[in-house]
């Protein structure tokens, strides 16, 4: 198991129920065991580490990382607006607050590696390089969308970008990604399979079967648990007996890490270690990324299971602000450069809305395409 270069943020170790009282937050079922006072020193230590890492990276990479994080943030704010106006239908799960996870992880892999995630997938598709036009058009259910308007928010898919979805069934992507890793190993392509899922998926049996097979058969698969501490309105403490998710890997002899998901470069570093393990040794890794979603579970979440104070406490470590502050601190970008980046992002997002509005609806006969590899006789007639 590889060593972290800096001390990881403290994993949850308090029994359920004691955590929020200790954190001074109103008593809820929250699993949030983070005491900001207690951890301030550690946060400062992490920020210093982010500053050091910045020195090791080139300007282009750093600016691309910030651009992608800001793009996801602004894109989703726009998507929320369009949803409220009734232009986007069905389910829509925002990624705001978690941007550092997808961007940090996907900045550390090859273009031909495979990526899969859950229904909270806009950020991963954008970070993988699917255009904002195609993602927005998909949200609108239009023919110009990356899934030709037939998948919607939860089922983004982009074969060219090696992005294999967008999955609505909790945990369904985990065995699929394990199979993709098996295929890569079998064919000897050197590709790695990365799969993202929420902490609520950790209780699914398929995850444990996948972990067992991945370690047993030495598969190049990286399992990313985006622990945002809630599965819909249910807190981790109410749903999981052992809440330190990274420990679950021990049952399978698998390497694991616990990473601060608000620090994009920490996620990138941990991913790079896991990629090396997968590519050089053909071994899987579980990475538990502690993060937090600033918005509701979906656009229709009344949000009465957590307090505003709890959300605000996490917003103090907004991953986008944390990183842009670090770039400013290190003199990589000044206010004018950040403003210019924001303007480019806004133009890209505005363009995506125009593209989505103008894109046609899928043709009726498209109902029958891409459903079966070998359609049954008479199908679609």
Ligand X SMILES: Cc1ncc(C[n+]2csc(CCOP(=O)(O)OP(=O)(O)O)c2C)c(N)n1
Q: How far is the CB of 245 from Mg ion (least distance, A)?
A: 11
- Say whether residue 169 binds ligand X (CB under 6 A): yes
Q: Please choose, from the candidates 349, 348, 360, the residue with its C-alpha nearest in 3D space to the C-alpha of residue 148.
A: 360
- Say whether residue 201 binds ligand X (CB under 6 A): yes
Closest residue to Mg ion, judged by C-beta, is 198
Question: In the complex with ligand X, which residue's Cβ is closer, 171 or 362?
Answer: 171
Q: How far is the CB of 198 from ligand X (least distance, A)?
A: 2
Q: How far is the CB of 118 from Mg ion (least distance, A)?
A: 9
The binder of 133, among ligand X, Mg ion, none, by C-beta within 5 to 8 A per type, is none
Question: In the complex with Mg ion, which residue's Cβ is closer, 103 or 236?
Answer: 236
Per CB under 6 A, contacts with ligand X among 95-124 are 118, 120
Letters for 220-259 (x = contact with Mg ion by CB under 5 A, - = none) are: --------x--x----------------------------
With CB under 6 A as the contact rule, the residue among 32, 121, 199, 269 that binds ligand X is 199
Question: In the complex with ligand X, which residue's Cβ is closer, 305 or 355?
Answer: 305
With CB under 6 A as the contact rule, the residue among 30, 178, 191, 228 that binds ligand X is 228
- Say whether residue 97 binds Mg ion (CB under 5 A): no
Sequence-distant (≥ 6) Cβ neighbours of residue 210 within 8 angstroms: 174, 175, 177, 178, 221, 223
- Say whether residue 75 binds ligand X (CB under 6 A): no
- Give the count of residues interacting with ligand X (CB under 6 A): 14
The binder of 271, among Mg ion, ligand X, none, by C-beta within 5 to 8 A per type, is none
With CB under 6 A as the contact rule, the residue among 232, 251, 363, 371 that binds ligand X is 232
- Say whether residue 210 binds ligand X (CB under 6 A): no
Q: How far is the CB of 198 from Mg ion (least distance, A)?
A: 4
């Amino acid at each position: 198991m590889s060593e972290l270069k800096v001390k990881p943020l403290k994993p949850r170790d308090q029994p359920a129920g004691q955590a929020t009282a200790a954190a001074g937050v109103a008593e809820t079922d929250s699993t949030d065991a983070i005491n900001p006072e207690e951890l301030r020193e550690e946060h400062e230590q992490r920020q210093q580490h982010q500053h050091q890492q910045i020195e090791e990276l080139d300007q282009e990479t750093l600016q691309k990382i910030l651009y992608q994080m800001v793009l996801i943030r602004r894109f989703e704010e726009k998507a929320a607006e369009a949803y409220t106006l009734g232009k986007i239908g069905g389910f829509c799960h925002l990624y705001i607050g978690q941007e550092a996870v997808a961007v940090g992880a996907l900045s550390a892999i090859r273009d031909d590696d495979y990526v899969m995630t859950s229904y909270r997938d806009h950020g991963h598709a954008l970070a993988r390089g699917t255009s904002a036009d195609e993602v927005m058009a998909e949200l609108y259910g239009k023919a110009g969308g990356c899934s030709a308007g037939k998948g919607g928010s939860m089922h983004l898919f982009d074969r060219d970008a090696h992005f294999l979805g967008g999955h609505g069934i909790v945990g369904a992507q985990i065995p699929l990604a394990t199979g993709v890793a098996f295929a890569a190993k079998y064919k000897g392509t050197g590709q790695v399979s990365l799969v993202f899922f929420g902490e609520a998926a950790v209780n699914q049996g398929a995850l444990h079967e996948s972990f067992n097979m991945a370690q047993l058969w030495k598969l190049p698969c990286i399992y990313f648990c985006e622990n945002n501490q809630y599965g819909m309105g249910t807190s981790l403490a109410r749903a999981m007996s052992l809440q330190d998710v990274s420990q679950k890997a021990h049952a399978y002899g698998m390497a694991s890490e616990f990473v601060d998901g608000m620090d994009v470069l920490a996620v990138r570093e941990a991913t790079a270690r896991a990629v090396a393990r997968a590519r050089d040794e053909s071994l899987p890794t579980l990475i538990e990324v502690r993060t937090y979603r600033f918005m509701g579970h979906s656009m229709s979440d009344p949000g009465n299971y957590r307090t505003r104070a709890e959300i605000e406490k996490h917003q103090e470590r907004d991953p986008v602000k944390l990183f842009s502050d670090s770039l400013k601190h290190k003199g990589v970008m000044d206010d004018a450069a950040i403003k210019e980046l924001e303007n480019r992002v806004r133009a890209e997002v505005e363009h995506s809305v125009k593209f989505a509005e103008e894109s046609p609806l899928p043709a009726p006969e498209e109902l029958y395409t891409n459903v079966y590899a070998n359609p049954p006789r008479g199908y679609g007639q």
